[in-house]
Structure 1
Amino acid sequence: MRDVTVSVPPARVPSDADGARMCRRATDAMDATDAMREHFGTWQLDTLIAVGGLGEIWRSNRNEEIAAVKRLHTHLIRHPDALAQFAVEQRLATGLPRHPNLVHAVEADAVDGRPYVALALAPGEDLRRLLHPPPRPASAARPDPAASVVLPRARVIAIAIAACDAAAHLHRHGFVHGDINPGNLVVAIDDHVTLVDLGVAREIGGGGAVRGTPAYMAPEQVRGERWTPATDVFALGVVLWELVAGARLFHRGPPWLSMAAVVEAPAPPLGDPALDAIAQAALAKDPAHRIAGAGELAQRLLAQR
């Protein structure tokens, strides 16, 4: 089962990555893509990429310029919390200085009161598919849900450092990503990594709503407490552990079981003692005892090259 992003009161805003509960809707929409093609402002919407709780993402073009256009659902355009959450993503994607490992926007605007952000398409496939590839057609009748790929050590370190660099860039500008997970890390054929989806990002020190992907939340996210750079460090620690182990760490199926594991379950030791020490330091349940920031985590990983 794919992890989903959850969002619960007090915000009551559907999460943009709440895809598991909407997969049937997304599949039906994709099947009807040809019939649904439309112009949205200056953009031609070509292919539906994803549908989530907050909005939908289309592969789009404008005079041969290609982008991923993410627009708010029509039924949320008068929802104050949804508008505020979407505005944060627009502001981050357009206002932050560009970083090679962080998604950036071509533009952000609204069409007939419906906000959107046009994002540069990150080349490659997400790390989730790289680590846990779908079964080949010949074996589709008996897929192995636990099937996974273990990457070479040097590649693990390079991917993890790139993810840390993107998160550190956000932290330097006062924000926490809040949803770092393999599905939001796009890896190109040359191993260039792009951190995408700023849909649940918030300012450092923000808190209150439980948002994120359950198996990659920090314990303080699960409890609805304030977010700090250490919140992203925990998620990066989970990603690092999974890269080394070739297995999922806190995924338990239902979101509430994954969140319980985040809070209570220890991370089993890895076979690589040096990387295990780094991962365990990033995975401390108490943020005060955790590696403080993504930059420090990157430095520890650099020493292992």
Structure 2
Amino acid sequence: MTPERWAEIEELFHRVAESDPASRNALLDNACCDDPALRKEVEALLARDGGVAAAAVEASVREELQNLLFPLTGKTVSHYQILNGLGGGGMGLVYRAQDIKLARRVALKFLPEESAKDPDVLRRFEREARSASALEHPNICPIYEFGEHEGQPFIVMPLLEGQTVEQFIHAQGAPKGPQQVQKVIDLASQVLKGLKAAHEHGIIHRDIKPGNIFLTADGQSKILDFGVAKLTHAEIEEDHLGHERAETATTVKSIDLTVSRTGAVFGTAAYMSPEQVRGERVDARTDIFSFGLVLYEMATGKRAFGGNTWPVLQEAVLRATPKPVRGLNPEIPARLETIISKALEKDRAARYQTASEMLADLEDLQRQLAPKHLPRAWALRLGIAAAIFIAAFIVVLAKKPKTVSVVPEIKLRQLTINSSENPVIGGAISPDGKYLAYSDTRGLHIKLLDTGETRTVPKPEALKDQSVKWEVGFWFPDSTRFLTTLHLATEEWGEWSSVNGSIWAASVLDGAPTKLRDHAVVAGVSPD
């Protein structure tokens, strides 16, 4: 039974189970008129209900589905205990696992059993392990280990908490307001730093798309899935080209997930470059075009090229001009639209030639959008002039007859509005003066001082049902994160015991705080 068939059975089962018992037969008649096998499966699940709570039945169905789609659930592989399945695609199944030796959670990616017998697929899987393990960069997901279990190769990776860019776009849509636009630019800059590192190591990803870029809970972008990466180092080029020449072209079967198995055409159809579509030799500029498509989608909430079939998409990638970015989202700065347009040039000679070039333009845009500051030399001159003026003013005052002293007017600005039932515990303003982080009895909050927009930081998943108190600590110099101390609510607030305290890092971007240390209550951030 395929995952799609299971999903169909599960969806109909829930619809029928939640309906009035008197109308169930009619609902099944209508839904299964030409599929008696579907009706039989759903009726079998309903028969199992037999008075059992609906939630229990649902849990049972989900357990069966989990075991079917992820058969290694519950087993031990090497020194990893498989906990549950996380997802899958053309290049493998991904499981959540516990590293028994190092006592940490990891992700294990397995080749499906049938795919492990295909030498081409196996070679691409090994290429992913080799490609990613050669790269050490904060914006590239590392590979811990490569192994094999009962004939199935697997790689071990960090278990990332957060969401893919695909999920981010689906949840946020087109960015609204300066803060969301700046967030998109920051995330894009991080991805380009990762691509720059890969290209400098002679590795071209060839499958950059929203599903292959992960946004961690603390605001980091990480490039995933080097399964179709092209290694261009001299020592491996000859072997790689030999394999490419031996491979023959096949049809792209799925617009979203399936990659072709030709030596020249690799990648996901909707995010391919023109040279990939034409089957030409690719280079770093291919990744730049694909990332331009991703950035277009992040900026507008829509794909640059639409189409449900390979021929339609092929024609669009080769000849169509995407709709103007600012026409779809006027919030986007004109300079960002220009950057995206240059990345999407059909002629790669007119495109950005390196990730460094595109990154330089994005960072220049970030500086333009940042609050303006005087150059240090001018600031020093103004400071000296101000000091001279103040000294002269003091001399003049000293020579004047004594009068009533002038008291400078101090204006207060209230930053929070809390009731006495929910008092503010503490707070701190970011070094750039843009954010206020503060906590009260209801949680941890981040306020954008210019607009007053306030976001409550979500609790970590493990503490969803616990009552906790947060204490705001120091900001990091880049003004995107700050330290915070978590106290379990059973503690007396005035007792500085570290037994139940822990240090966390919270981000102005979306996501829950990340734990840094247990059994601690005081921490600081170094100037760098």
Under TM normalisation by the shorter chain, which class is it? 0.7 to 0.9
Higher RCO (C-alpha under 8 Å, 6+ residues apart) = 1
Are 1:108 and 2:163 counterparts? no
Instruction: Give the match for residue 497 of structure 2.
Output: none
Task: Provide the TM-score with structure 1 as the length reference.
Answer: 0.81
Shift of 1:126: 0.8
2:360 to 283, 299, 302: 299
Q: What are the residue-to-residue correspondences of 1:212-251 with 2, within 5 Å?
A: 212-251=267-306
The number of residues matched between the two structures is 270
Instruction: Give the match for residue 150 of structure 1.
Output: 175
Instruction: Give the match for residue 40 of structure 1.
Output: 77
2:161 to 106, 109, 123: 123
Are 1:91 and 2:91 counterparts? no
SS at match of 2:365: coil
Q: Spell out, residue by residue over 1:181-200, the C-alpha distance to the aligned partner (whole angstroms, 9 max, x if none).
A: 11111112332111111111
Instruction: Give the match for residue 258 of structure 1.
Output: 313
2:94 to 54, 57, 65: 57
Which amino acid in 2 is paired with 1:173? H
SS at match of 1:210: coil
Computing the radius of gyration over CA atoms, which structure comes out larger, 1 or 2?
A: 2
Distance in 2 between the 1:296 and 1:25 partners?
47
Distance in 1 between the 2:6 and 2:340 partners?
35
Shift of 1:241: 1.6
Which amino acid in 2 is paired with 1:32? L
Identity between Structure 1 and Structure 2 (%): 31
Distance in 2 between the 1:288 and 1:30 partners?
52
Shift of 1:113: 3.4
Distance in 2 between the 1:30 and 1:302 partners?
47
Distance in 2 between the 1:26 and 1:258 partners?
30
Q: Tell whether the 8 Å contact from 1:44 to 1:60 is kept in structure 2 after alignment.
A: yes
Task: Structure 1: state its 5+ residue gaps.
Answer: 1-21, 134-146
Q: Spell out, residue by residue over 1:136-194, the C-alpha distance to the aligned partner (whole angstroms, 9 max, x if none).
A: xxxxxxxxxxx934252211110111111111111011111111111111112332111
Which amino acid in 2 is paired with 1:59? R
Which amino acid in 2 is paired with 1:99? H
Shift of 1:84: 1.1
Q: Spell out, residue by residue over 1:231-287, the C-alpha distance to the aligned partner (whole angstroms, 9 max, x if none).
A: 000011112222222222113233442232111111222223211111111111111
Shift of 1:34: 5.2
Task: Provide the TM-score with structure 2 as the length reference.
Answer: 0.48
- My pick for the range that moved more, 218-227 or 239-248, is 239-248
Which amino acid in 2 is paired with 1:268? K
- My pick for the range that moved more, 31-40 or 53-62, is 31-40
Distance in 2 between the 1:74 and 1:34 partners?
15
Instruction: Give the match for residue 107 of structure 2.
Output: 68
Are 1:286 and 2:323 counterparts? no
Shift of 1:116: 1.0
Q: Tell whether the 8 Å contact from 1:42 to 1:62 is kept in structure 2 after alignment.
A: yes
Shift of 1:26: 8.7
SS at match of 1:289: coil
Q: Tell whether the 8 Å contact from 1:30 to 1:48 is kept in structure 2 after alignment.
A: no
2:205 to 174, 177, 182: 177
Q: Spell out, residue by residue over 1:42-77, the C-alpha distance to the aligned partner (whole angstroms, 9 max, x if none).
A: 222221122223321111112232111111121233
Q: Could you say what the CA RMSD is over the residues aligned between the two structures, in angstroms?
A: 2.3
Instruction: Give the match for residue 406 of structure 2.
Output: none
Q: Tell whether the 8 Å contact from 1:233 to 1:291 is kept in structure 2 after alignment.
A: yes
Q: Tell whether the 8 Å contact from 2:145 to 2:155 is kept in structure 1 after alignment.
A: yes
Change (3 A) 1:222 1:86: same
Which amino acid in 2 is paired with 1:41? S
Shift of 1:104: 0.5
Change (3 A) 1:225 1:25: farther
Distance in 1 between the 2:315 and 2:159 partners?
35
Distance in 2 between the 1:46 and 1:74 partners?
19
- My pick for the range that moved more, 25-34 or 121-130, is 25-34
Q: Tell whether the 8 Å contact from 1:70 to 1:116 is kept in structure 2 after alignment.
A: yes
SS at match of 2:359: helix
Q: Tell whether the 8 Å contact from 2:129 to 2:155 is kept in structure 1 after alignment.
A: yes
